[in-house]
Amino acid sequence: MAKGLPLLLIADTSVPEALGSKFLRGAQQAGLDPERDLLVAYTSPAPAFSPSMGRLRGKVFYRLADRRSWEWWGFQRQLIALIEQHKPRLVLVTGILPLAPQVFQAIRASGGRIVNYLTDDPWNPIHRRRCFLRNLKDYDHLFSTKEALRQRLEAAGTPSTSWLPFAYDPELHHPIDVTDPEAADVLFVGTGAAERLPWLEVLADLPGVRRRIHGNSWEGLSTPGWEKGPAVVGGDYCRAISSARIVLGLLRQANGDLSTDRSYEIGAIGGCGLYQDTNEHRTLLENYPDAGFFKDPTELRARVQTLLSNMELQQQLRQAGAVALRKAEETYGARLRTILDWSQANP
């Protein structure tokens, strides 16, 4: 392989919770010097990256241009210049970010490889971009957090794929001592979606139970019996999970989830997690008591009632989750090391 920059990371690092930020903080664990061994580039339709999205005509253009902002074209030119200058050995793209064909050509001309860490389903109407689906055949490898998606990715032309699940970030997700008299009895942290309402509704009439939701996009959804709060990050996120008696691990069927980043974070923080029963959750949470899983709304309600009446069982779930998840091999540094190992094995 031609000598050059070890890694060009095309990922969001604008806030600590962004996936690119998690990879950056894990770079040293993965054997990289963040100052010497990698560069970061990124764009998105968010106004911070695409000022045109702050105007009506920019939003109209975005809809007509397959969910690409006006600034996307300039970003492609910047990427090509970076690649030609630094000749990265590996380009890692996170998520559904379409690239121009000339970007892939520049990477190969410089002797590099390009892979994607794909955390969503690109065929989900919420995320679908035709230009990204056309990119699939041009990647050298896709790491998908969804094992069930690999067959479809390969049928769409992706040369090779592997399953690489979510992880946690020790700097963001860690135990925190907290005593909060206003803490939730049952907590859910996540984005609002109609498919999640049946899970919440089945708990709405439990007497004497404080139910709380934290997350975006709940404004238009009716959740009787549940307090709604804003999205929580950083220390507030850790405090909310640590102090709650039960934290729900709900999935998104529309996105093909069998586990999520929250699946890792609840245990790493030390929360009492109650998870949808999937093979990925069972594998991830080794030796986790059956009381910590539910298959349907009826079983969810029964599990919540049992747990709320049993402090010892709550503590058992907290300890089992921490043992299963608070490991170096479940961090984003370890995930980045897996990606780099693939690159070294496939020069």
CA 285 to each of CA 278, 281, 310, 328, 341: distance values in angstroms, whole numbers, following the listed order: 11, 6, 20, 15, 25
DSSP codes joined into one string, 235-254: HHHHHHHHH-SEEEE---GG
- Per residue in 30-81, pLDDT (tens digit) is 999 999 999 999 999 999 999 999 999 999 998 999 999 999 999 999 999 9
Mean pLDDT, the chain, as a whole number? 94
Per-residue model confidence (pLDDT) at position 2: 45
- Per residue in 140-177, pLDDT (tens digit) is 999 999 988 999 999 999 999 999 999 999 999 999 98
- Higher pLDDT: 220 or 338? It is 338
In this structure, what token pair is assigned to residue 143? 């790491």
Question: Rounded mean pLDDT of 295-305?
Answer: 97
Question: Rounded mean pLDDT of 261-274?
Answer: 96
| Calpha distance 23→12 (Å, rounded) | 10
CA 223 to each of CA 123, 187, 212: distance values in angstroms, whole numbers, following the listed order: 28, 13, 10
The amino acid sitting at 67 is R
Domain annotation for the chain: domains and CATH numbers: 7-167+331-345 (3.40.50.2000), 186-328 (3.40.50.2000)
| Calpha distance 237→202 (Å, rounded) | 25
Per-residue model confidence (pLDDT) at position 63: 93
Instruction: Tell me what percent of the residues of the chain surpass a pLDDT of 90.
Output: 90
Helical H segments across 217-347, by residue range: 234-243, 261-269, 279-284, 297-308, 311-325, 332-345
Question: Rounded mean pLDDT of 87-113?
Answer: 96
- Per residue in 10-21, pLDDT (tens digit) is 999 999 999 999
Residue 246 has pLDDT above 70, yes or no: yes
Question: Rounded mean pLDDT of 194-200?
Answer: 94
Per-residue model confidence (pLDDT) at position 113: 97
With residue 40 as reference, give the H or E element that holds it.
Answer: strand 38-41
- Confidence label for 1 from pLDDT (cuts 50, 70 and 90): very low
- Higher pLDDT: 33 or 179? It is 33
- Is-contact 49 71, C-beta < 8 A? yes
Residue 225 half-sphere exposure, CB side, CA atoms within 13 Å? 17
Question: Rounded mean pLDDT of 224-250?
Answer: 95
Per-residue model confidence (pLDDT) at position 126: 85
